[in-house]
Structure 1
C-alpha cells in the first residue's frame, strides 16, 4: 500500500536554546493576552463560547508549543538545549501558577456558568464536564480566598514548582558510577560486564558500573558477593543525596498550601479529584492489602532466607549465620529461588528476546489488536539519531481521514537522558474551531540494553513487560478521541492512568504471545514450550514480597503527605522499608532522594499503582483472557476505555467495558489463587 501523507505536518526538533526560550515566552504572552480579553468581558457577555470554549482552545494551543519544548531536557544530548528547556519549563510552571490565581478570569467562568444555567442552555456531556472542571480548577486553586492568602499561595506554588524542577533535573542528569574488580563482579553475566567502561586502578583492571538500570540491576540480581551487592545498593540509594533537602522543602511547601486551601493534609487535597476520593480511603486500601499480603511475604522471606543460610554454610562453615535478610539480598535470592525451583535462568531467557525482534513484534501485536498501522518516517526531524519516528494510521486508512497521529521511540541509554522508561503526550488530540482535528503525538523514552561486541542487544523478560506496558500509554495517547484537549488520552484520574497499561502487561505472560515475540539471537527459534511454562509460573513467585515493596513506597508517600510536621525522612524511608518490605537496609541512606514519582505527579498518588491493578486484573480476566489477540475485543477496548480518555467518569468507562461495575475478585485470585472478597473502596 502506498504511503499516505499525514494531514498534519510533523514537528521540527531543530530548535536552538534561544528559540526554546523565545517561543515559550511568545506562547505565554499570547495566552496571557487571551486571558486579559476574557477578564475584560462584561458579565452578560460571558458565555460557554466566549469563556470556556475560548480558554479550552487557547490552553490546547499553548500546550502544543510548551510541551515539546520542555521535553528537550529529558532527551537532548546538548546541555545548552537541556538547560534552556528546563528554564522554559520554569517559565511555564510559573505562568501556570499565575494563570491558576487569576480571580478576574475565574469570575468570568462563574458568570458564564450562571448565564448558561439561567438561559437553560443545553450542553453536551463533554461540554458540561469542561465547565465543571474549569470552575473546580479555580476553587481548588484558592480563588475563593482573600487577596492576602491568594498572594501567599501564589508565591508558595511558584517555589514548589522550582523545587520540583530542580529535583527532576538532578534525577535526569545523575551520572555517577561505582567501581568493581572482575572478582567482585563474579556472577554478573559476561555480556553485561563487557558493556561497562574499564580502566586500570592500582595495577588491576576495574569496571565502572553506572546507576543506569541496564548496568546496576544485573549486579543486584547476579553478583555472588554480598559485599558487592551491598556497596552497589548503598551507592544507588545515595546517588541523589542532594535531592533529600529538596524533597523536605517540597513537603513543607505542600503542607502550607494545603492548610491555606483548607484541607487537613496535602493527601486530602490531591485525592479529592481521584477515584479513591480521600486520604483515609487510601490508608484503608493500603492497610487492607498489607494485612492480606504480610503472611504471604513472611513465608516467602523465610524461604529466601533459607537459601541464604545454605550459601553461608557452604562458604563459611565455621561462622554462625546472622539470620538477616537485607535489601541487597532480595533480587539475588529471588532470582536463585526461581532458578532452583523452576530451573529458569534469566540469562538464557533474554537470549530469546533480541531488541531487534521484540520491538517490531510488539508493535505488530498492538497494530493487529488495535487495528492500526505504523509507518516509519526515516527522514523526519528528531532530537537524536537513536530516536525513531512513526506516522500512525487506522489499519484500513485510504485517505487522510484515517490518520491517527505521530509516535516517537527513543529506546537506548545515553548520558544525561531520562534514566527509566516513560511516555510523554507531547501533543493532545482535540477538535479545532473550524471543524478540523489536531492530532496527537506521543513519545516513549526507555533505556534498553545496547549491543556488545559479542551479542546483539538483548532484553530480560521484565524489560519486555515494561516495554509492553509503556506502549499501552502510547496507544492511550494515540487512540483517545475527545473534543477537548484537557480530557485527551491519559488525562484521566491519576489512580486509573496505569490501569490500561497494567492490563496489557498480561500479554507478556500468555504462551501464544511469548512464542510470537521471541526469537533466539543465534538459532532464530521461538521460546520452547517448557521455557514458556517456567516463565508463566515465575510470575507469582515471591509476589508477596514484590507487592509489599510497592506498599512501602505507597506508605512512605502517604505518610509524608499526611504528616502535620516535618520529620527525619531518611529515618522514615529506612524504617518503613524494613517494617513493610521485610528486608533490613544496612547503613541508612537518603533513598527518598531517588523517589522521582513524589515530585513527578504521583505525590500522594503512588498507591495508584496497586489500586489500579485491581481494575487492570478485572478488565483482563473479564474481557481479554479468552482471546488476548482478538481485534474485536481490541475495538471494544478502544471504544470503551481509550477513546473517551478523561471526558467521563472512569467508573462509567469501566462499567461499559466490563458490562458491570468493577470489583477486586480477579486481582485477589491472581495474588492468592482464590476469591477473598472485595477490596475496600473501589
Structure 2
C-alpha cells in the first residue's frame, strides 16, 4: 500500500497573500473566457458537449475553494484577509456569471436541441441540463434588463454582508474572567487550560468563547451567577453582527419579491426535499405539538432538581428555569438518575486514542485505508492522509485526500465542520479526485492530563467525519453533484445516521481507553452512556425547533421586526427556558448566513431519514462491511446526481418513512 503513488498530487498550502489574489484573478478570467466562448455559439451549435460548462465550473471551484479556506484556519492575518478578499471577489463574479443572459440562451438552445435530436441522455446528464435551466430562472434571467440590474446589485450586497458576518464570527476572540472560587465545580483539568493572570490583587482565569472553554462553565459551575455571566458574555459575543443580519434579511426579502416568490423561504425550499415554506411550517408545528408535553414534563423535573439544590445550599429558589440552568441541571439529572459522572467518562476518551480508533471504524466499515502522508499543510497541527481502497493494487484504487485540523488556536474557525475543498468528477483527461478537510476544536491537554474528549465531542467527531467520507467516497461524473452537493435538507442525514455508532455498546467499548489504565469503558458505564442518550430528549429537540422557527419566521415575514426580542420570545415559548435580559444571540447564529438560511429545519427533518436508514439496515450489525458497501453504493456514491428519495428507496428497499424517528423520540421514556 505505502509504495503506491497517488495519481493526483495533494494541494499546495504555502500560498502567499499575493498568490491568492493572482490565482483568484486568473481562475475568474479563465472561466469568463469559457462563458464568452459559449455566448458566441449559434443556437444550432449548442449541445451539452459544446457548452463545456460543467467542467469549467468544476475547475473554477476546485482551484479557488482552497484559497477561500485559508480565512477559516490560517494563523496569518495577511492570508486570512487575502482569502476573505478572494471569496468576496468570487462571490461577486458568481453573481455576474449567473446573470449572463447570453449564456442562459445557449443553455436553453442546448436543451431544445437535445430534445429535438432524440438523443438519450444519462440520468445524471439529464439532471444537469434541468438544473442549469432552473438555475437561470432562479437567477432572474427571465426578468427585464432593468430588474436584472437591480437583482445583480442586491446579490452583491448580500454577498458582502454575509461574508462580513462570517469574518466577524471567525475572528471573535473575546473572553470573560472568573476567580477560582467563581469557577467552583468546573473540572480542574478544564481550569488548568485557562489563561491565568493577576488583576487588582486577584487571580483571574480568562475563559474564551470557544466551546471547550466556556461550555464546561455552563455545565459544571455551581454558582448560578457565574453561569449567568458566562451565558450573557457568550450570547452577546457577536453583537457586531446584529445589524448585518438585519441587512441580510432585508436584502433577501427584496430578492424574493423581485424573483416572484412569496417569501425567501419559498425561494430556498423550491430545491429542497421539503419543497415549500408551508411544508416546513407544518413539519415544525406538528413536531412541537408532539414534543411539548414531554418537554414540559422534563422541565418540571429539572426545576424540581433546582429547588432541591437551592435548599441544600441554603439559597433562595426563584421558581424560574433559566437558560444558564439548563445544561447544569441536565447534567445533575444524569448524575443523579444514572449515577453517571461526566468528568469520569471523559477520562476514557483521550484524543490520541479515540481519533485513530474512529478512523479504524470508518476504514473497516467502508473498506478504505487512510495513509498518513508528509505533505504541505496550512498549520503544523494538521494531519494529512491519502485515502485508498482497501484492496488497492495500483493507482486506480486512489480515493482522494483528507486533512484533519482538530485543535483550537487563535483566529481559527470556532466550531466543527468539514470543507469539501475539491470535488471529484470525470474530466476530458480522466478522473479528478476529491479533497476534504475536517476542522474541529477538541479539548487541549492540561499539565497533568492529555487532551480528553467529552462523549458529546466523540459524537460530533463521528458526525463531521461522516461529511468527510461523503465527500471522499462519492463517484459522480459531474462535480456539481459530488458528495455533499445534495438537497440541503438531506445533507445531514448520512452523518446523523453515523452518530448512532457512538451509542452502540460494542463500539463504545472499542473506541474508549482510559488515559492512564488503558481500559475500555466497563459494561456498567457503557449501559449508563446508552441510557443517557434519551435523557431530556424533549427539551433537546424543542431547542432545535426554537432555532428552526426563528430561522423560518425571519425568512417568511415581509416586515422587519425586533429580532432580539423575537429571539428571546421564541426561546422561552418554544424551548421552555428563559433567557433573562435579551442579548443578541441572533448575531452568533452563523447557520443563517452560512448556507442554512430558511434551512435550519433540515437538521431535524433529515433525522427522519437518518433514523430510518439506521434502524432498517445498520441496527442489526452496525460494523458489518457488507452493510457499509450497500451504504456506499446507494447513499454516498450517487451524491446529488439523482433525487434523494430515489437513493433512500434503493438503500432501504422501500420509500423512507418517519416510524423509526417517532419510535426513537416518543419511546424514549421507556428506555430510561
- TM-score tier by shorter-chain length is over 0.9
Structure 2 partner of 1:598: 592
Structure 2 partner of 1:579: 573
Q: Deviations over 1:87-136 (max 9, x none)?
A: 00000000000011000100000011111111111111100000000110
Deviation of residue 485 (structure 1)? Answer: 0.2
Q: Within 5 A, what are the aligned runs for 1:340-351?
A: 340-351=336-347
- Cα distance between partner residues in 2 of 1:564 and 1:71: 34
Give the counterpart of 2:554 among 557, 560, 563.
560
Structure 1 partner of 2:287: 289
Pair 1:405-2:400 in alignment: yes
Structure 1 partner of 2:519: 525
- Cα distance between partner residues in 2 of 1:483 and 1:104: 26
Q: Deviations over 1:310-344 (max 9, x none)?
A: 11122236x4x221000000000000000000010
Deviation of residue 204 (structure 1)? Answer: 1.5
- Cα distance between partner residues in 2 of 1:369 and 1:315: 50
Pair 1:542-2:536 in alignment: yes
Pair 1:391-2:386 in alignment: yes
- Cα distance between partner residues in 2 of 1:665 and 1:583: 29
Pair 1:419-2:414 in alignment: yes
Contact 2:2 2:371 survives alignment (8 Å): no
- Cα distance between partner residues in 2 of 1:562 and 1:488: 31
Number of positions where the alignment pairs a residue of Structure 1 with one of Structure 2: 669
Contact 1:100 1:141 survives alignment (8 Å): yes
Give the counterpart of 1:328 among 311, 320, 324.
324
Deviation of residue 674 (structure 1)? Answer: 8.3
Contact 2:534 2:668 survives alignment (8 Å): no
Structure 1 pair 303–592 and aligned structure 2 pair: CA distance change class (3 A): same
Contact 1:424 1:443 survives alignment (8 Å): yes
Give the counterpart of 1:446 among 440, 445, 449.
440
Pair 1:429-2:424 in alignment: yes
Give the counterpart of 1:627 among 603, 606, 621.
621
- Cα distance between partner residues in 1 of 2:668 and 2:193: 44
Structure 1 partner of 2:112: 114
Q: Within 5 A, what are the aligned runs for 1:311-322?
A: 311-316=309-314, 319=316, 321-322=317-318
Structure 2 partner of 1:7: 7
Q: Deviations over 1:193-237 (max 9, x none)?
A: 000000011112110000000000000000000000000000000
Contact 2:349 2:515 survives alignment (8 Å): yes
Structure 2 partner of 1:356: 352
Give the counterpart of 1:493 among 487, 500, 510.
487
Structure 1 partner of 2:362: 366
- Cα distance between partner residues in 1 of 2:179 and 2:590: 31
Q: Taking structure 2 as the reference length, what is the TM-score of the superposition?
A: 0.99
Structure 2 partner of 1:62: 60
Q: Which sections of structure 2, spanning at least 5 residues, go unmatched?
A: none
Pair 1:204-2:198 in alignment: no
- Cα distance between partner residues in 1 of 2:39 and 2:61: 21
- Cα distance between partner residues in 1 of 2:15 and 2:157: 28
Q: Within 5 A, what are the aligned runs for 1:77-116?
A: 77-116=75-114
Structure 2 partner of 1:248: 246
**3-state SS in 2 of match to 1:392:** strand
- Cα distance between partner residues in 2 of 1:346 and 1:140: 49
- Cα distance between partner residues in 2 of 1:81 and 1:345: 43
- Cα distance between partner residues in 2 of 1:285 and 1:3: 53
- Cα distance between partner residues in 2 of 1:409 and 1:580: 37
Contact 1:352 1:518 survives alignment (8 Å): yes
Deviation of residue 413 (structure 1)? Answer: 0.2
Q: Within 5 A, what are the aligned runs for 1:91-170?
A: 91-170=89-168
Q: Within 5 A, what are the aligned runs for 1:182-221?
A: 182-221=180-219
Q: Deviations over 1:429-452 (max 9, x none)?
A: 000113x10000000000001111
Contact 1:492 1:650 survives alignment (8 Å): yes
Contact 1:428 1:488 survives alignment (8 Å): yes
**3-state SS in 1 of match to 2:198:** strand
- Cα distance between partner residues in 2 of 1:279 and 1:345: 43
Structure 2 partner of 1:671: 665
Contact 2:48 2:110 survives alignment (8 Å): yes
Structure 2 partner of 1:651: 645
**3-state SS in 2 of match to 1:603:** coil
Give the counterpart of 2:172 among 149, 171, 174.
174
Structure 1 partner of 2:461: 467
Contact 2:383 2:405 survives alignment (8 Å): yes
- Cα distance between partner residues in 2 of 1:478 and 1:322: 52
Deviation of residue 2 (structure 1)? Answer: 3.6
- Cα distance between partner residues in 2 of 1:2 and 1:9: 15
Contact 1:668 1:674 survives alignment (8 Å): no
Deviation of residue 3 (structure 1)? Answer: 3.0
Deviation of residue 405 (structure 1)? Answer: 0.2
Give the counterpart of 2:372 among 355, 370, 376.
376
Structure 1 pair 674–452 and aligned structure 2 pair: CA distance change class (3 A): closer
Contact 2:335 2:341 survives alignment (8 Å): yes
Q: Which moved more, 1:13-22 or 1:307-316?
A: 307-316
- Cα distance between partner residues in 1 of 2:63 and 2:255: 29
Contact 2:414 2:440 survives alignment (8 Å): yes
- Cα distance between partner residues in 1 of 2:48 and 2:460: 42
Deviation of residue 264 (structure 1)? Answer: 0.3
Q: Deviations over 1:248-291 (max 9, x none)?
A: 00000000000000000000000000000000000000000000
**3-state SS in 2 of match to 1:352:** coil
Q: Deviations over 1:490-543 (max 9, x none)?
A: 000000000000000000000000000000000000000000000000000000
Q: Deviations over 1:160-208 (max 9, x none)?
A: 0000000000000000000000000000000000000000111121100
Structure 2 partner of 1:303: 301
Structure 2 partner of 1:457: 451
RMSD after superposition: 0.8
Q: Taking structure 1 as the reference length, what is the TM-score of the superposition?
A: 0.98
Q: Which sections of structure 1, spanning at least 5 residues, go unmatched?
A: 676-682
Structure 2 partner of 1:679: none
Contact 1:429 1:488 survives alignment (8 Å): yes
Structure 2 partner of 1:680: none
